């Protein structure tokens, strides 16, 4: 048999404590236990307006199609991620730019027109240098032919022929 609080004065109490407080705690726990058991019993429905045979009252909304404007707010960039610089391959004074900024260009298309005068002067100079070297080569060839004839006639020495 289990002892009840307060039935045995030596059990369930701390030394120096009053026996009445132990009885009060035991009585309060019995009241709490009884009220908990009473709450577990079946209860009757609070409203008697709903009976088992009739359906409950509900509200109804009718869905109708209508135009809705969709708005999407998305993050974006106002500065480019990559920048492609378009530059001519040669230096010079740009006379004309043949493309629009930001437009698509095809491979091999002309993008810039550069002043041709400095390049024409350089080309003329190179042609003149070539003509001078060709004249020098031609003169050296004639000099060799002349010295060969002189060498065969024993008019010149082999050393003079080798120098030429």
Q: Which pLDDT value is given to residue 147? A: 85
Task: Check: CB of residue 5 under 8 Å from CB of residue 25.
Answer: yes
Q: Which pLDDT value is given to residue 1? A: 46
Range of the domain at 132: 117-163
Mean pLDDT of the region 101-119: 88
pLDDT at 47 over 70: no
Q: How far apart are CA 48 and CA 108, in angstroms?
A: 90
Task: Check: CB of residue 151 under 8 Å from CB of residue 158.
Answer: yes
Look at the chain and report how many structural domains it folds into. Answer: 2
Mean pLDDT of the region 56-64: 89
Q: How far apart are CA 128 and CA 131, in angstroms?
A: 5
Domain presence at residue 146: yes
Q: How far apart are CA 154 and CA 148, in angstroms?
A: 10
* Banded pLDDT at 16 (limits 50, 70, 90): low
Domain presence at residue 130: yes
Domain presence at residue 30: yes
Q: Which pLDDT value is given to residue 19? A: 59
Domain presence at residue 90: no
pLDDT at 42 over 60: no
* Banded pLDDT at 76 (limits 50, 70, 90): confident
Mean pLDDT of the region 91-97: 88
pLDDT at 132 over 90: yes
pLDDT at 130 over 90: yes
Of 16-30, 61-75, 127-141, which gets the smallest average pLDDT?
A: 16-30
Most confident by average pLDDT, 17-26, 41-50, 67-76:
67-76
Can you read off the two tokens belonging to residue 149? Answer: 């004839």
Domain presence at residue 148: yes
Q: Which pLDDT value is given to residue 135? A: 97
Domain presence at residue 43: no
Domain presence at residue 60: no
Domain presence at residue 31: yes
């Amino acid at each position: 048999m289990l002892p009840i609080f307060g039935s045995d004065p030596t059990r369930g109490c701390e030394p120096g404590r009053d026996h009445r407080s132990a009885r009060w705690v035991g009585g309060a726990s019995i009241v709490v236990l009884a009220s908990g058991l009473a709450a577990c019993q079946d209860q009757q429905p609070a409203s008697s307006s709903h009976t088992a045979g009739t359906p409950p009252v509900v509200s109804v909304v009718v869905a109708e199609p209508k135009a809705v404007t969709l708005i999407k707010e998305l993050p974006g960039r106002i500065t480019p991620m990559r920048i492609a610089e378009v530059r001519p391959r040669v230096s010079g004074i740009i006379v004309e730019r043949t493309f629009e900024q930001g437009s698509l260009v095809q491979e091999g298309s002309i993008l810039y027109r550069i002043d041709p005068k400095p390049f024409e002067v350089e080309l003329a100079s190179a042609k003149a240098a070539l003509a001078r070297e060709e004249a020098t080569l031609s003169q050296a060839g004639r000099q060799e032919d002349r010295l060969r004839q002189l060498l065969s006639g024993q008019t010149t020495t082999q050393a003079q022929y080798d120098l030429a």
